[in-house]
Structure formats: structure tokens, C-alpha cells
Amino acid sequence: MSDLLTTEEYKAIAAGLSFPTQAFIDGSFRPALSGKTFDTVNPATGEVLAKVAACGAADVDFAVEKARDAFEDGRWSRLHPRERKEVLIRLAKLIRRNARELAVMESLDSGKTIFDCETVDVPETIHCLTWHAELIDKIYDQVSPASDNHIAMIVREPVGVVGLVLPWNFPLLMLAWKIGPALAAGCSVIVKPAMETSLTALRVAELAMEAGVPAGVFNVLPGGGAEVGEPIGRHMDIDAVSFTGSTATGRRFLAYASESNLKEVTLEMGGKNPAVVLDDAENLDRVAAHVVNGAFWNMGENCSASSRLIVQKGIKDRLVERILAHAREWPMGDPLDPVNRVGALVSKAHFDKVAGYLGKGPKVLMGGKAEKGFVEPTVLDIADRAARQVREEIFGPVLSVLTVETFDEAIQLANDTQYGLAASIFTSNVKRAIRGARAIRAGTVTVNSFGEGDISTPFGGFKQSGFGGRDNGIHAHDQYTQLKTIWVDLADDADEAVE
């Protein structure tokens, strides 16, 4: 995966692709029961790639019925943990075998650069599935310290049928983040990919069947939020929903659960993440590289993007100079050209939204142009802390620079947001690094770097960035399992038993 091809070679692969276009239910591809379809479009060119099945509530009902049958008869839920592990490892191997096809399909469908698809998204998808597979037979249950006349076992059981609602910014990787622990736990899943990016989820479902995931266990229903997402959220026979996406849509899933069967809901939502750079930060060139990566990676279409640079006044000018230099190393253009680091935004609707933040107002230090689905990496110098660009999640390649005088002011400004997903702090003072990391209200705080941790560390946020569970790490399995206490009375004489 590290040896990138030429643009011409990638385009040749693209020309030979056969796109999956139907829903995947009960082990096979099927058209939507209504017969409806929708166009999935290459955002870099405007070309229609395929007409994909537009599922609806009837398809959700059918898929849930099949998923429930699979769960209850134990074809997957009661399979030996070792056997589930072997199946998921086979799936990871099949993805590796088809990695280049998936990378090109992902790039075409989402506008993501082939560089990222080849070097990040597909390899991390494989790693995620393998990691959770290997964990299956290594999670032990517990025995409580009960009395000598009792034994109490605390065991995990799969929650049941789970709805997995995906975002469009990392279609493959977010699929892996959810199906990895959900399938590892023994659940049956109903996957709703984002309407903009359905193709790779459908292809992975086909590979899962080839790997040995039983029919009914892994279902994929493409379609709109109202047509598929809401029926999943309201379904009386879905036990839990794990959602990644916007805060506005996350609120709806809480309402759906409250108005139906009170299903468990895990939400991973928006962010307006600060990169705090203090005046004692070392190696400003390295700091600038991290800030640029955090702001412009994946075109800023990243819930943990560093969209707010909070920098102390004494080093602002020197740091901004280096940021502008590093940003020029992120060329924008054809996503299938491996030289490019910035591709197209996912859809015209999203392009229009991001472009709307680039009008009159803040001082533009770099970029600021938007045309035909592409938005230049943009750096804004902003004095007004109530500006839209400072308060709202743009989800595009736009970095807002905010100047502060003191450490305390920097931390206060970092926390002055409704979100709390991720943050970074750059300083050479260990005490200030730890104090700052503890004071910032965010689920992940990195010190002297930008990042999200890795597969071994939990990912999720505070405040309106989400709650209910974490993705990644062993903690991700908590979303898809329930705890049961089994209390056994060991007393010889029933009359001596203690309740």
C-alpha cells in the first residue's frame, strides 16, 4: 500500500471498476422494495458514478427481521469467539487483497485524495478490523467478591440488533470503527452509509459474506436520512444505535429513541477543536506542520480538525509565517493524482456551505477561493471571537487564527465552544502541558502534536460533541454489549441462604 501508482494507472483502475448498487440484506444484493434509486456522484467531476438503491422503511423492516432471526438463532451471536475472530481476520485479509480497488472507489465516491485513501483510510480500516478481531477471545468477564455461600458472575452479552449510521467523511474507516467491535461482540448490524458515499460499504458487505459472516448478520441499506435513518432510529426491534455525524442529526436520534423503545444511543458528533500554541513552544516549524495537518487533512472534513489556532501574541507572527509555508506544500487538484493532498468537497451542497464562510469579514492570510467543488486551504486572522468562522463547525479547509496574551486566556478560549471533541496544546513546559490538557474540556487532548490517538485509545467527546460510549479501544465494545449479573447460591441449606 505504500507504493503509489501514477494518475494514469489510477484512472485505468477507475475505468474498470464495477460499482455495487443494490442494498445488501440477508447475504445478498437486492433492489429497494420500492424500486427507487438515487445518483451517486463523483464530487471532483460531477459525473454520475452509479444509480444506487434508495431504501425505505419497508427495507429497514425486512433487514431488521433477518438480522433478528440471525441473532436469535445464534449463527453468529453464539459462535465460539475464536471462530468469530477467524472470520473477521479473513475479512481483513480480503480487504487487503482488494485494497487498491477500494481506495480508488473511495476516492471517486467521496472526493478524498487517493494519497489519503491509499496511505490512511484503507490501511487503517484493515488494522481496525484485525485489532478488534484479535480482541474477541481476550476480553474476560468478572467474578464479584461475594460471600462464601455465593458466586456472582458479571458477564458481557451482545446487545442484539444494532443500527450503525455512518458519516460521509471517512466512509470505510468509520464503517470499520463500528462493525469491528459490533461484530466482535456478536451483534447483528444494519449499516446505513451516508447517501453521498455508499459504494465501499456495499463492497465490504460483499467481502464479509465471502469471509464467512453468516447471512443476516451484516446488512447495508443505502438511502436518505428520512427514509432509512429515521426508521432505524424509531424501530422497535433495534436494540441500539451508534451514530457518527452532525450534532443536529444526533439530537434526532435521541428523540427517535425516546419516542420508540428507548434503545441505547451512542453519539459522536461535531467539533470546533483548538490548537493552543504557547509562547514557549519549541521548534515552531514542527508545530506549524502539525497545525497545517490538523486543519487541512481530508479537506478539513474531519470532526477532530484543528479549526481554531489559539496562539500567544509573542510568537504569533513567526508561527503564522511557518504555517503559510507548510500550507503551500498541500497542493489541491484531481483526487486521483497522488501528488495532491487536497481533493474535492464531498457534495455541491457541502461545497456551497463551506464557500459561504469565505466572503467578507476576517482578514485572509492565505487561500479564500472556492470553485467547482474545490476550496483552497484557507487561513483567516480573526479578532472577533463571536465571528461565525470561530463559533461554527465549518467542516472545510479553513483555519481561524486567534491571538491571546496569557496561558489562562488561551485555555478559557479553548473551552469557549459548545463542542468538546479534540484539542492540542504545544508547549515546552511539562507542568503547563499537563495543566492545560486537564483543563481543556475535550475527549482527546494531544500534547505537542495533532492526532486522535490510535486504535488502542478511546475516541469521543464532551458536551455537544457526543456521549453514550466511545469508538476505538476496548471501550468501543461497551457500546455493543450489556452487563449481566448471574448470582448463584451455594449454601447447602436453603434456609441459610442470604438474599
Catalytic positions are 268, 303
DSSP-based three-state secondary structure for 352: helix
313 HSE (CA, 13 A, CB side): 5
First-residue to last-residue Cα distance in the chain: 60
325 HSE (CA, 13 A, CB side): 12
Q: Give the phi and the psi of residue 444 in degrees, each rounded to 5.
A: -135, 125
CA distance 445 to 434: 10
Cβ neighbour number for residue 3 with a 10 Å cutoff: 5
> Grid coordinates in use for 184?
466482535
| Distances in whole angstroms, Cα of residue 352 to Cα of each of 298, 355, 381, 392, 394 | 17, 5, 22, 15, 11
Q: Which residues contact 233 (CB under 8 A, 6 or more apart)?
A: 163, 241, 252, 253, 256, 257, 260, 263
Return the DSSP state at 479.
G
CA distance 174 to 183: 14
Return the DSSP state at 266.
E
Place of cell 468538546: 420
Residue 455 identity: I
CA distance 95 to 206: 11
Rounded-to-10 torsion of CA 209, 232, 301, 128: -40
Helix (H) or strand (E) holding 147: none
The answer to whether the CB of 66 falls within 8 A of the CB of 240 is no
